[in-house]
C-alpha cells in the first residue's frame, strides 16, 4: 500500500500514544505503596519501548509504513 507521508506520521503518533497508555498502566500496576517509584518508571519505560516496537512492526508487516 502506498500511503502518503502525512498518513505515516499520523500512524506513528497513534502508535506512540497507545504505547504511552500501555506504559502508564504497566507502571501503575507494578508500583506498590510504600516502595520507591524508580522501578515503576523503569518498568513503564521498558513497556513503552516494547509496545512501540511491536506496534511499528505490525504496521510495517501489514504494509502501512
d(CA 31, CA 37) in angstroms, rounded, equals: 7
Q: How confident is the model at residue 3 (pLDDT cuts 50, 70, 90)?
A: confident
pLDDT of residue 57: 96
d(CA 12, CA 20) in angstroms, rounded, equals: 12
Give the contacts of 43 (CB within 8 A, at least 6 positions apart): 26, 27, 30
Question: What global pTM score does this model have?
Answer: 0.87
pLDDT of residue 22: 97
d(CA 20, CA 8) in angstroms, rounded, equals: 18
Note whether 65 and 59 are within 8 A (CB).
Answer: yes
d(CA 32, CA 64) in angstroms, rounded, equals: 39
pLDDT of residue 26: 95
Tens of pLDDT along 22-62? 999 999 999 989 889 999 999 999 999 999 999 999 999 99
Amino acid at each position: 500500500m502506498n500511503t502518503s507521508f502525512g498518513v505515516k506520521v499520523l500512524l506513528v503518533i497513534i502508535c506512540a500514544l497507545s504505547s504511552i497508555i500501555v506504559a502508564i498502566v504497566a507502571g501503575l500496576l507494578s508500583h506498590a505503596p510504600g516502595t520507591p517509584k524508580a522501578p515503576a518508571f523503569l518498568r513503564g519505560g521498558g513497556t513503552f519501548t516494547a509496545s512501540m516496537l511491536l506496534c511499528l512492526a505490525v504496521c510495517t508487516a501489514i504494509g502501512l509504513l
